[in-house]
Structure 1
Amino acid sequence: MRGSVIAVVLAGGLARRMGGGDKPLRLLAGRPLLDHVLDRVAPQVAGVILNANGDAARFASYGLPVVADPLPDFPGPLAGVLAGLDWVAEHRPDIPSLLSVPGDGPFLPADLVARLEAARATAGVPMACAASGGWTHPPIALWPVALRGALREALLAGEKKIDRWTARFGCASAEWPADPIDPFFNANAPEDLAAAERLLQAG
């Protein structure tokens, strides 16, 4: 399973609530958020790419491919997913699936890929997204590369809402417990970073 999935870390947003800049490069426990995300995700997949706009050199130390949104004006996470799907289709045509995760989620579960894969196989649908605490997390999902053409058409037509688009094809969900820590906690604002620091210190 690890060999059949490439992950894209979605880092193309504007981070307005964090005061702008690159959220994944904000420090948590002395390390960039992106480091924590990669620690969680990289062991589960065959490779990782970053979706980020602007000068890719700021991520050069990671040695990972950096792909920009294929559409202008920051159309949202679906554009980052399409960027990842396009990269996989061009560079790893042997890989059938893409995992998308946010660049600000330091507690992602170690069984994310396995459980998403099981959920979509059980439901007989092409996609699966994560859920916790009664909420779904559409940007944390497993996508088939075969649907990239349909996604491009939808984005060009103005679609921005993930769950509305995935509902057209079928998207299962895999549920994780939100206690003691929600594995899909994301650091949107400075106070979230402080909360994540406390959670890390508490183990």
Structure 2
Amino acid sequence: MTPYTALILAGGQASRMGGVDKGLVELAGQPLIARTLHSLAAQSQPPARVLISANRHLDAYAAYGYPVLPDTLPGYPGPLAGLLAGMQAEPDSVLLMLPCDAVQLPADFATRLLAALPGRQVVSASDSVQWHPSLLALQPGLTDALTAYLAGGNRSIRGWLAGLQHDTVPFALPFANLNTLQAVAALAQQWPAD
């Protein structure tokens, strides 16, 4: 099995959540970052290493015991800036990128993405509802390509993936998409007791 580094994106502005720090929003009594870390630890193939991309409350994220990487670019340029920081920190590693609200990953999530990666630069996940370009695995060696893409003023993950050898891996059950506090509250109503 391919060893990989997991990169959790928690560095956004969460504008649809009123600007709160999304990774620290609680779901059924635990912050989303803790739920996502638990989901990663439950993988049939857990990561060899975990990195957290964050730009605020760095001490709160560091308390989980993993390296915390602020963006290396100014002005909150989006998830690709977090990805770039991860690629710069682990230039020789296969990266598995996921947002801090990936709280219900199937146990074979990493295994299936990594199995689809040979022969491609990047693979991302889709489900029965939509494509999730921020749930992806990518080969090392793409740092220069991403740096050039961002230097051109581009910010879209979809746009960057369109220029790469890319494929999607379908999953049956929908992934959580917690972009509002209401969505977090709704999921909390269904969350099993810890």
TM-score (norm 1): 0.87
Task: Say whether 1:111 aligns with 2:113.
Answer: no
Deviations 1:73-121 (A, max 9, x none): 11111111111111112xxx4x3x1010000121122211111122233
Q: How does 1:29-178 map to 2 (within 5 A)?
A: 29-42=28-41, 43=43, 44-89=46-91, 93=92, 95=93, 97-121=94-118, 124-178=119-173
| Matches of 2:160 and 2:181, distance apart in 1 | 31
CA distance in 2, matches of 1:111, 1:198: 25
Measured in 1, the distance between the counterparts of 2:20 and 2:159 equals 29
Identical counterparts, % of pairs: 38
Structure 2 distance, partners of 1:148, 1:5, is: 16
- Whether the aligned pair in 1 keeps the contact of 2:39 and 2:102 (CA below 8 Å) is no
CA RMSD of aligned residues (A): 1.8
Alpha-carbon distance in structure 2 between the residues aligned to 1:197 and 1:56: 25
Partner-residue secondary structure (3-state), 1:153 = helix
CA 1:116–1:50 in structure 2 vs 1: closer, same or farther (change >3 Å)?
Answer: same
Match of 2:185 in 1: 194
Give the unaligned 5+ runs of structure 2: none
Is the CA contact (8 Å cut-off) linking 1:106 and 1:186 kept in structure 2?
Answer: no
CA contact (8 A) 2:117 2:139 kept: no
Q: Which runs of 5+ in 1 are unaligned?
A: none
TM-score by length of 2: 0.91
Query: For the residues of structure 1 that align with 2:113 and 2:90, how far apart are their CA atoms?
Result: 19
Residues in 2 aligned to 1:134 and 1:25: alpha-carbon distance in whole angstroms: 26
* Larger relative helix fraction: 1
Please state if 1:13 is matched with 2:2.
Answer: no
| SS at structure 1 position matched to 2:117 | helix
Secondary structure of 1:146's counterpart equals coil
SS of 1:151's equivalent in the other structure is: helix
Give me the whole-angstrom Cα distance separating, in 2, the residues matched to 1:129 and 1:202: 30
Q: How many residue pairs were aligned?
A: 191
Q: Is the 8 A contact 2:117 2:138 kept in 1?
A: no
Q: CA deviation at 1:69?
A: 1.1
1:202 Cα offset (Å): 8.9
Is the partner of 2:105 in helix, strand or coil?
coil
